Amino acid sequence: MNFTAALIAEFLKGSVEGNPEATVSDISKIEEGKPGTLSFLANPKYEKFIYDTQSSIVIVNADFQPQKKISATLVRVKNAYESFAALLRLYDQSKPKKSGVSKMAVISDTASLGKDLYVGEFTVVSENVSIGDGVQLYPQVYVGDHVKIGEGTILHPGVKVYEGCKIGAHCVIHAGAIIGGDGFGFAPNQDNNYEKVPQVGKVIIEDHVEVGANTTVDRATIGATILRKGVKLDNLIMIGHNVEIDENTVIAAQSGISGSTKVGKNCMFGGQVGLIGHINIASGVKIAAQSGISKDIKEEGIVIQGSPAFEFGPYQRSYLLFRNLPKLREQINELERKVEQLKQ
């Protein structure tokens, strides 16, 4: 399907600079632009590519001031990144969606199925499962007993949802994710062996949550592990038992949250962040990559870094010092030698 610059600008509520009849049928990175494709420029470090790109149309911020002549037609918008994301969503929604139930799927007679479903090959839907309208279960998905899945939710290949868990509407669970595996609960006995503590709780995932590939969300020991509305988890994340993550918090890859920790709204965690169990993180907290959190964070909106983590600004200043510790040690040793010489 072809789209003109004028049509794109109208959809994005932007303005056209150049040929309003310029046409695109595909998208490309600005540094790899080809004729007939649409690109965007949001990060200033990529500005150099806009002067040579072969893309026919480029979305830019309204305040962008080019330093050279640009051959591409520009669509100026308030926020180029958000606008391009909106177009990608439209493009994705325009693609044909899979539908129908494969004859090679196994579906219990006691399951309640909504309309317009897709259930792929070798997918298993167990007893007393409730599935809403428009749900897509790709091949080799396992849905355990008494699971509830809200309308429009997508489970990609190989997702496993254990018994009793609840997934809200319009969620996306990526390939290999496991929802509701046992929490890590073991109690030492008198013989110095470990006895498993039964994990009888569940996982509750609210609406519009996205869970990345091979991420695990453990069921609660008692009660529920909860991902609130709008939470976004990257790939390869571990969420322990009885954790609660509040609305619109985003967490990058390889992070881990230990059991019974509670995270507030609108938090942002970088990659490989680790949190110990039984702590509380205030809303709006930002944690830099590879940080370790060992105690409550009570101040909302604070930015922290390090292991153990503390405020971002002091950490950066401290880093300038401890990276030079070997040099400082040499200077101290030299001063000590001179003091000894003076004493003699």
Please state the separation of Cα 197 from the chain's center in Å: 31
Contact predicate 255/237, CB 8 Å: yes
What is the spatial distance between Cα 69 and Cα 17, in angstroms, rounded to a whole number? 12
Active site residues: 241
38, 46, 56, 159 from 32: Cα distances, Å: 11, 12, 12, 34
Crossing angle of helices 80-94 and 5-12, in 10° steps, is 110
What is the spatial distance between Cα 140 and Cα 117, in angstroms, rounded to a whole number? 15
Task: Output the 3-class SS for 293-336.
Answer: ECCCECCCCCEEEECCEEEHHHHHHHHHHHCCHHHHHHHHHHHH
Torsion of CA 55, 22, 80, 84, to 10 degrees: -80
What is the spatial distance between Cα 306 and Cα 309, in angstroms, rounded to a whole number? 4
Range 242-251, long-range pairs (CB < 8 A, 24+ positions): 242/183, 242/201, 243/218, 246/283
Tally of CB atoms within 10 A around 297: 19
Tokens of 198: 């039964």
187, 325, 340 from 337: Cα distances, Å: 56, 18, 5
Tally of CB atoms within 10 A around 315: 16
Q: What is the CA radius of gyration of the chain?
A: 26
CA atoms within 13 A on the CB side of 20: 7
Show Cβ contacts of residue 35 under 8 Å, excluding neighbours closer than 6 positions. 54, 55, 56
